[in-house]
Amino acid sequence: MPQLAAYLAYDGQCAEAMHHYARLLGAKVETLLTFDQVPGEMPVPPGAGKRVMHAHLVHPDFTIMASDAMPGMPFDGIKGAMLAITYEGEQEARRIFDALADGGHITMPWSPTFWAEGFGMVTDRFGTPWGVNGGPKAIPSP
């Protein structure tokens, strides 16, 4: 069965971001491989050794993969997408939203919507854009 996962890019903060998300979201960092740890004869550019070559965060309901950009490669952050997460209850969703907003930037303040009791958008301190939903509502068909 196919599985779809977000693959995020960072500029040296990948390990910190994945460990933060694991604690916050109740997930587990299953893989965190730095360029220094890559088996075989793969050449590692100077300064890249401690950067993350591949990380895999696993939760029973989702997975996130990520890595750091190579030194010297242009890095313009995560653009044109966001991670959307939905919780059954508004209270838990608001807790997650507030934690993601800590040190980040709120792009849409928490408020009720026609699709959820609460929704907000934030770019966290690692540059990852999030949309957090809590208390989903039935959306009427047209």
pTM: 0.92
Which of residues 83 and 45 earns the better pLDDT score?
83
Q: In angstroms, how far is CA 95 from the centroid of its own chain?
A: 16
Cα distance between residue 21 and residue 133, in whole Å: 17
Digit-coded pLDDT (tens) for 10-33: 999 999 999 999 999 999 999 999
Please, which residues bridge with residue 108 across strands?
A: 121
Domains of the chain: which residue ranges?
6-68, 83-136
Closest CA to 16 of 128, 126, 127: 126
Confidence check: pLDDT of 140 > 90: no
Pick the CATH number of 83-136 from 2.60.40.10, 3.30.720.110, 2.160.10.10, 3.20.20.120: 3.30.720.110
| Among 15-19, 36-40, 49-53, 80-84, the least confident range | 36-40
pLDDT band at 96 (very low <50, low <70, confident <90, very high): very high
Q: Do domains 6-68 and 83-136 have the same CATH topology?
A: yes
User: May I ask the CATH class of domain 6-68?
Assistant: alpha beta
Sign of dihedral through CA atoms 58, 59, 64, 70? negative
